Amino acid sequence: MSLAHDDPTVPKGALVMAAVLIALALALTAATRLGFIPQAASPVAERTAADVALVSERSLRFLDRADGSVRIEDAVTGERIATYGDEGGGFIRGVMRGLARERRMNGFGQQPPFALSLWQDGSLSLTDSATGRVIELGAFGPDNRRTFMQLFESGGA
């Protein structure tokens, strides 16, 4: 019994289509980077364009502790707002781990505060005053947004 002839080559049409797809992706990326295609609007730009007012802002400092926990304090008063260890605050610790990594890469420490901002349209954002990075906390779902919203409710906001 003989097997059908196995041809290991890829059909020319498939190669052409793959090359067209790659070229199209590169062309669209270049066109966006060069400004021929507008980039997707950022929430910061959208709020500015819509003149959305700031409702409340809290200046916070997130401090890594030797035991692996994160202490959150009011950057103005030094008041302890919360401390999260292994037992809770996983989302907050995860967000702060990423921001702390970016700060280390740029030579910043833990001291510059973060601004937790509540906007008139209900959005909640966290701005790193050292790097300028803004994280829209609503993008992570209502439960994760609520964990940061509780930092406003912890007094002093």
Q: Which domain holds residue 79?
A: 44-153
Residue 9 lies in a domain: no
pLDDT above 60: residue 86: yes
What is the predicted pLDDT for the residue at 17? 96
Total domain count, the chain? 1
Residue 11 lies in a domain: no
Instruction: List, for residues 12-53, the tens digit of each pLDDT value.
Output: 999 999 999 999 999 999 998 898 888 777 777 788 778 888
Pairwise CA distance, residues 10 & 8, whole Å: 7
Contacts of 119 (CB under 8 A, 6+ apart): 47, 52, 53, 54, 55, 125
Confidence of residue 1 (pLDDT cuts 50, 70, 90): low
What is the predicted pLDDT for the residue at 16? 95
Could you tell me the two tokens for 63? 């401090």
> How many other CB atoms are found less than 10 A from the CB of residue 32?
13
